Amino acid sequence: MILKKTSVTRNSFNNLILPFYNPSFFIPVKGKGSRLWDQEGKEYIDFSGGIAVTSLGHCHPILNEVLNYQSKKIWHTSNIFTNEPALRLAKKLVLSSFASYVFFANSGAEANEAAFKLARYYSTKKYHLKKNQIISFYNSFHGRTLFTVSVGGQSKYSDCFGPKPLGIQHAEFNKIETVKKIINKNTCAIVLELIQGEGGIIPASKSFVKELRLLCDTYNVLLIFDEIQTGIGRTGKLFAYEHYGIKPDILTIAKSLGGGFPISAMLTTSEIQSFIKPGIHGTTYGGNPLACAVAEATIDIINTKDVLSGVKKKLHRIIFELNIINKRFKLFTEIRGIGLLIGIVLEKNFVGKIYDILNAAFIEGVILLVAGNNVIRMAPSLIIKESDIIEGMSRFCCALEKII
């Protein structure tokens, strides 16, 4: 039986869906590789990657094949059982990382919620009941649950929701002295993004991360890396922490992990695992067979020399094209980020026009993102074709011609 479709347009959104979002004027209905098509058949080149999610582009044939195969076997079991795809995926994550154990969830916020809860549970059980303080950083972003949004360092996301969870402090990113001023015997964890995403695509310096690791070791504090946006190949390494030569105690991943299928994971060590007992945390859908099967295939494709080394080559091509654009329009002051998580920092004259620039790009058929009020963000497919990069940049140039 084929279900009858109901006609919908962008105008339907305001009458049907709570306006937590303000979606664009067009509705994508089809995707292939790094290209999307809307209801009218108009084509777009996607430099957003679904906000760093569609790591292998849209409708990758291998992911489609795996999803179709698994959908005919079993969809859901709940946490009463384990399943084969979850076990295979967990093994591959463990063999490819610092970790010994994995917990699966469905979103970045859930993975971070689990990480923060686990850090407090472990520290209070091993040390003392007051060892529950978490240090995060201003302008960070860790999710939308009340706990994770409070740990995040942007009050605009956490204000007006009633009392916030206690025991959370914020320091200044890349300034170790601000951490030293607040860390103490009651601190249980320091959490940071190795590249602040929503905060403007700002990488942590290697010296900063090294000092954090030393502080954590001195005060018996867990170091948590939020790699929701940077994990699974985004930076040209499977995990961004590999660029720093520093291992965390807990790591969270989501976005690119499922290549577009919702899944997240928290990775940790045998030492921390030894304090866990059944029932202290859980999720109904975590480790879903469909999601884990797709994620396993995604890792098999990404965790190869060709794909990971290709990230750097694609970055160089994007920078080359952006510099040509900048010579003409004097649009930005710098390009920052690592791998294919790119921040284009606008000249001050263009800061107030950032959404005009994005909308003009949409009209010309290229999809970009923002990160803060002065940074255009790009997070395309890790396997985006060079021809798509060139064509997308040409369309971006046409957009700029019409508004500058």
Model pLDDT for residues 349-390, shown as the tens digit of each residue: 898 899 999 999 999 999 999 998 899 999 999 999 999 999
Coil, strand or helix: which one is 53?
coil
Residue 15's pLDDT is what?
Answer: 85
Does residue 7 carry a pLDDT above 90? no
- Annotation: binding site for pyridoxal 5'-phosphate: 108-109, 141, 226-229, 284
d(CA 319, CA 344): 10
The CA-atom distances, in angstroms, between 30 and each of 3, 47, 330, 391, 392 are 18, 16, 35, 19, 18
Write the single-letter amino acid at 22.
N
Kindly report, residue by residue over 302-335, the tens digit of the pLDDT.
Answer: 999 999 999 999 999 999 999 999 999 999 999 9
pLDDT in the model for residue 404: 82
Q: Residue 138: phi, psi to the nearest 5?
A: -60, 145
1 has a pLDDT exceeding 60 = no
CB atoms within 10 A of CB 200: 20
List residues forming the annotated binding site: 108-109, 141, 144, 226-229, 283-284
Distance between CA 385 and CA 376 in Å, rounded?
21
Calpha distance 337→206 (Å, rounded) = 13
Cα–Cα dist 204/192, whole Å: 9
Task: Kindly report the backbone phi and psi dihedral angles of residue 294, in degrees, each rounded to the nearest multiple of 5, phi listed first.
Answer: -65, -40
Ordered by where they begin, the domains of the chain are 10-60+305-403 (3.90.1150.10), 62-302 (3.40.640.10)
Percent share of the chain, pLDDT over 70: 99
Range in 48-57, 93-102, 147-156 with the lowest mean pLDDT: 147-156
Residue range 167-181, pLDDT digits in tens: 999 999 999 999 999
- Note the pLDDT of residue 12: 84
For residue 52 the two structure tokens come to 């760093």
- Tell whether the model's pLDDT for residue 401 goes beyond 60: yes
What are the binding residues for N(2)-acetyl-L-ornithine? 144, 283
